Amino acid sequence: MRYVAGQPVERIFPGTHNAPLPPGAALPTGGALRVMVWNIFKQQRADWLSVLKSFGKDAQLVLLQEAQTTPELVQFATSNYLAADQVPAFSLPQHPSGVMTLAAAHPVYCCPLREKEPLLRLAKSALITVYPLFNDELLMVVNIHAVNFSLGVDVYSKQLGPIGEQIASHQGPVIMAGDFNAWSRRRINALYQFASDMALREVNFTDDHRRKAFGRPLDFVFYRDLGVAEASVLVTRASDHNPLLVEFQPAR
């Protein structure tokens, strides 16, 4: 579902990655690409909007997980970004919830993905979008909320499979980020193996205040063909996860 200011909500169908890309304006990076990654906990806690206003407005990309399309969030998204694309994982009584990518440019390609939790039968979603950069490269952005409750890692790896196919066929920089629910040794090993197979590097945080479960962080940012200028974790009580803030430098 795409939300754009002054336009009705539009249902976007998956594109074909090898199809000709429509023209689009580049992300206005100004030499720096700022990205915010945050599981927003369905906006259930106070101050989520003030955190977004304070730190999200300066980012060209905001990758949200558990974003519920309340009027307040849609208003923020359409007032500060050219496009807000959401993949509803499931519908709550009033508003759908799922991953949502806010961008300062229109995507030239998008692919929504869903995977059901094997135990709870609730879906988790992911969204792949592609944006032009000022240097004529195409940036692939993967926003993911990984399955949480599963025995073993088969379903976990299965969710990563289609994402890997898209990354492998993409020529250009990649950012893959979100809530990976990597709370077990087998999950983190599967995630790191996937990142290695895709030639993705992990963003490291010096003061690492990421949300953890069983001693392991849940939120990650991976990247390819970009430089990392700054990376920090914002400590807040506005969600049960802390936002990740990363500034990338696209190649010139």
Q: How high is the pLDDT of residue 17? A: 44
Q: Is residue 26 part of a domain?
A: no
CA distance 152 to 157: 10
Those residues whose C-beta lies under 8 Å from the C-beta of residue 8, and which sit 6 or more positions away, are none
The total number of structural domains in the chain stands at 1
The CATH number of the domain where 159 resides is what?
3.60.10.10
Those residues whose C-beta lies under 8 Å from the C-beta of residue 137, and which sit 6 or more positions away, are 172, 173, 225, 250, 251
Q: Going residue by residue through the chain (252 aa), what tens digit of pLDDT does each one get?
A: 888 887 888 887 665 444 444 567 899 987 799 999 999 999 999 999 999 999 998 899 999 999 999 999 999 999 999 999 999 876 555 678 899 999 999 999 999 998 766 655 566 889 999 999 988 899 999 999 998 866 668 888 999 999 999 999 999 999 999 999 999 999 999 999 999 999 999 999 999 999 999 999 999 999 999 999 999 999 999 999 999 999 999 876
Q: Is residue 12 part of a domain?
A: no
CA 80 to chain centre: 17
CA distance 81 to 101: 10
Q: Is residue 48 part of a domain?
A: yes
Q: Is residue 9 part of a domain?
A: no
Token pair, residue 166, equals 């898209």
Q: Is residue 20 part of a domain?
A: no
Q: Is residue 5 part of a domain?
A: no
pTM: predicted TM-score of the whole model, two decimal places: 0.92
- Domain of 67, in residue numbers: 31-250
CB burial of residue 118 (10 Å; 0-12, 13-18, 19+): middle
Q: Is residue 6 part of a domain?
A: no
Dmax over Cα atoms in the chain, in whole Å? Answer: 47
Q: Please say whether the beta carbons of 160 and 190 come within 8 A.
A: yes
230-233-122-88 Cα dihedral, nearest 10 degrees: -50
Give the chain's radius of gyration (CA, Å): 17
Q: Is residue 25 part of a domain?
A: no
